[in-house]
Structure 1
Amino acid sequence: MSKVTHISSQTQFAGLLKSSKVVIADFFATWCGPCKMIAPVFENIASQLARDNAVTFVKIDTDAQKDIAAKYRITAMPTFLLFRDGNEIERVQGADPRKLESLVNKLVKEAGSAGGASGSGSGGEGSSGSGGADAGGWWTGAAAPRGYTDITDNVEVLRTELLNVDDAAAGNVRVLFGGSRPTGKSEALSASAADWVESDTDEQLMLFIPLQSIAKLHTLQITSNPTDDAARPELIKLYSNSPHNLGFDEAEDTLATQEITIKPTDWNDQGTASIPLKFVKFQNITSLVLFVVSAQDGAEKVRLDRVRLIGEAGEKREMGKLEKIGDEQGE
């Protein structure tokens, strides 16, 4: 079922702006080629992030709803507007998925804030000890080390890629970078309802994480809620600055930037492990590949609920362009 509402009147749209904390509006035209091109991207984002009475995605036909289009000064299609508490706070014009991603990253944080206010249990416990929701409502599985911040919103969400995922039992890769508290459920009615990912044919996963800006990474945080069928990761390998995801054979033949064994005692009561990185090797990072090599207790499947990057984000580069950094990082 689509998570996008098609607006049929000014009254309907005004009502949604009042009832939903965040509203994302896609102003389009049926004759617009770029609108048709970007429509599946918009639908996919909505399927992952829409939440009742908190985050609402709508489509507005500018020919059928001329009064609404005029009110918001829509002069080009498609145009995407982000509303918070009924007020426009961002506008993206054109059918470029990378431009839309900047809106998505803002939405993720707004979604976390909305979740904390909704009483749904996704982020209302507050920040304490090993994790919770911070002042802005963004759920954290563990506190950030002193002097560093959560820079997960610098992930180019639309270009992330996950290999060996069980599409029938798990959600889309983008749920890993969401701002809401994981449900911790062991099963979902459908893959689109799952807010975690699981491996498919064996326990290995390969996650490609491109960044919007050159970053210094200090800590990797992984949240995993084990089930009878899927365990937490045990051995992981990290590869920095790859321009694309690695294949499993390629990863085996490539020297990892860092290899880590996660012990059972590393997981806190939020189900999160904070993994310190060799900081000198993660100084000029434009992308990260996370290779889950094995699962705990020799399990045949592995599960990931959230991934967080902790460090410092630098000046944003042009979206979508990755430049591989050489051996200047040192040992």
Structure 2
Amino acid sequence: MSSKIVHIESAQQFSSLLSSSRIVVTDFYADWCGPCKAIAPFYEQLASSLTRPGQITFTKVNTDNHKDITQTYSITAMPTFMVFKNGRETQRIRGADPKALDAAVKSLASEAESSSADASSSSSGSWIGASLPRGYSDITDSVDQLNLDFLNVDSEAGNARAVFNTAQPSAISKSKSTGEKDWIESDTDDQLMLYIPFNGALKVHSLHITSFPTEGDDDIVRPRTLKLYSNKSNVLSFDEADSIPETQEITLQDSDWDAKTGTAKVDLRFVKFQNVSSLVIFVVDGDGDGEKTRIDRIKIIGETGEKRAMGKLEKIGDEQGE
């Protein structure tokens, strides 16, 4: 058995690997499965040649011993190979298919080799401005972007979806945009009201907020005071937000902002954000005397929390290995 393969012993260990390794390849197998045994030597060869610490990690999950993990990822066939990038599933291969597995893994290995290991870049091309907390991942793709509702946004800046752009902010890349601006700014004063619905119930651990005040323009500032409201059915008016209790209030300090990425990590009281279908972020004021608050990116960090009932397991593939 290849010493490069990590044999998963718990759901916590698996979550930790998903957050600490850029790419994770997982073999869901069973001891009784003939096709699983047949493809195991090939999987070991891939692990031996392509494992890269912190970049590519090969794991195995015994479905009989870890039914909680099996259920979480809706594994119904043996073997199933899953590929994760930055904690998110990108590919699933059902059955003992060496050709498909080889193509998927080697494509990712090539991608990882050519990519920087810097925290502000990811192998999928999805930019992230701060390190991820242990055991959690970027779940911004769970945002229901069709039903976003932002108040007091300057129409000459980007639209609501701009802050969920997966690309590196133009303020860092210094690229000359030929289309819409990839950030938002407040309009009549420094306040913003952001209604962010999700496609499912999430466990939200923290937020990453990126802001690059325009150099030489004292009127553009970063957010300072934030009030968060969970599970609202629609955007709040500014008067309404002042009249109801917030789920949490945060005041950002200068020291919270990373100089390189322009990003502040906003830690939440996790116990209050365990079953979240939407967030309202009320930017109460900006950090300074400027009249316009700018936000370039928002990242949602946590767990999707979605689980499906586990069906009957079956084995798929060439039975000759039995």
What displacement does 1:178 show? Answer: 1.0
Q: How many residues align?
A: 192
User: What is aligned with 1:12?
Assistant: none
How far apart are 1:184 and its partner, in Å? Answer: 1.2
Any conservation in 2 of the 1:214–1:316 contact (CA below 8 Å)? no
CA contact (8 A) 2:170 2:177 kept: no
Choose which of 284, 288, 299 in structure 2 pairs with 1:297.
Answer: 288
Deviation at 1:125, TM superposition (A): 7.0
Secondary structure, counterpart of 1:139 in structure 2: coil
What is the CA distance between 1:315 and its match in structure 2?
Answer: 2.1
Larger Rg: 2
Alpha-carbon distance in structure 1 between the residues aligned to 2:168 and 2:244: 34
Aligned sequence identity (%): 49
Cα 1:264–1:274 change in 2 (3 A) is: same
1:110-125, aligned counterparts within 5 Å? none
SS at match of 1:251: helix
The Cα offsets for residues 38-94 of structure 1, whole Å up to 9 and x where unpaired, read as: xxxxxxxxxxxxxxxxxxxxxxxxxxxxxxxxxxxxxxxxxxxxxxxxxxx9xxxxx
* One-letter amino acid of the structure 2 residue matched with residue 312 of structure 1: E
Residue 127 to residue 201, structure 1, CA distance change in 2 (3 Å): farther
- Check 1:137–1:247 CA distance in 2 against 1; reply closer, same or farther (3 A cut): same
2:86 aligns with none
| Residue 246 (structure 2) aligns with | 256
Indicate the residue corresponding to 2:36 in structure 1: none
Deviation track 1:1-30 (CA, whole Å, cap 9, x = no partner) reads: xxxxxxxxxxxxxxxxxxxxxxxxxxxxxx
The secondary structure found in structure 2 opposite 1:274 is strand
Name the counterpart of 1:139.
Answer: 127
Unmatched runs of 5 consecutive residues or more in structure 1: 1-88, 90-116, 118-123, 318-331
Runs of at least 5 residues in structure 2 that lack an aligned partner in the other structure: 1-89, 91-110, 309-322
* Inter-CA distance 166–149: structure 2 relative to 1 (3 Å threshold): same
- Choose from 279, 291, 295 the match for 2:270: 279
Match of 2:299 in 1: 308
For the Cα contact (< 8 Å) 1:208–1:290, is it kept in 2?
yes
Indicate whether 1:184 and 2:171 are aligned. Answer: yes
Residues 224, 125 of structure 1: alpha-carbon distance in 2 compared, 3 angstrom cutoff: farther
What are the Cα deviations for residues 106-165 of structure 1, in whole angstroms up to 9, with x where unaligned?
xxxxxxxxxxx9xxxxxx97342xx32112221101111010000000000111111000
Report what 2:146 is aligned to: 158
CA distance in structure 1 between the aligned counterparts of 2:168 and 2:249, rounded to whole angstroms: 28
Would the aligned equivalents of 2:170 and 2:176 in 1 still touch at CA under 8 Å?
no
The 1-side partners of 2:307 and 2:164 are apart by 19
Q: Which residue, 230, 234, 239 being the options, matches 1:240?
A: 230
Alignment of 1:21-170 (within 5 A): 126-128=116-118, 131-168=119-156, 170=157
Question: In 2, distance between residues paired with 1:161 and 1:250?
Answer: 15
User: 1:230 Cα shift?
Assistant: 1.1
Two-structure CA RMSD over aligned residues (Å) = 2.4
C-alpha contact 1:218 1:277 (8 A) present in aligned 2: yes
Partner of 1:171: 158
Aligned residues of 1:198 and 1:302 also touching (Cα < 8 A): yes
Q: Is the 8 A contact 2:162 2:296 kept in 1?
A: yes
User: What TM-score results when the alignment is normalised by the length of structure 2?
Assistant: 0.56
TM-score, structure 1 as length reference: 0.55
Q: Which residue of 2 aligns with 1:231?
A: 221
Give the match for residue 210 of structure 1: 197
Equivalent-residue separation in structure 2 for 1:236 and 1:125 (angstroms)? 35
2:29 match: none
Q: Hey, what's the Cα distance between the residues in 2 that align with 1:188 and 1:135? A: 23
User: Which ranges of 4 or more aligned residues in structure 1 deviate by more than 6 Å?
Assistant: 185-190
Checking the alignment, whether the CA contact within 8 Å between 1:223 and 1:305 is kept in structure 2 is: yes
Highest RCO, 1 vs 2 (Cα 8 Å, sep ≥ 6): 2
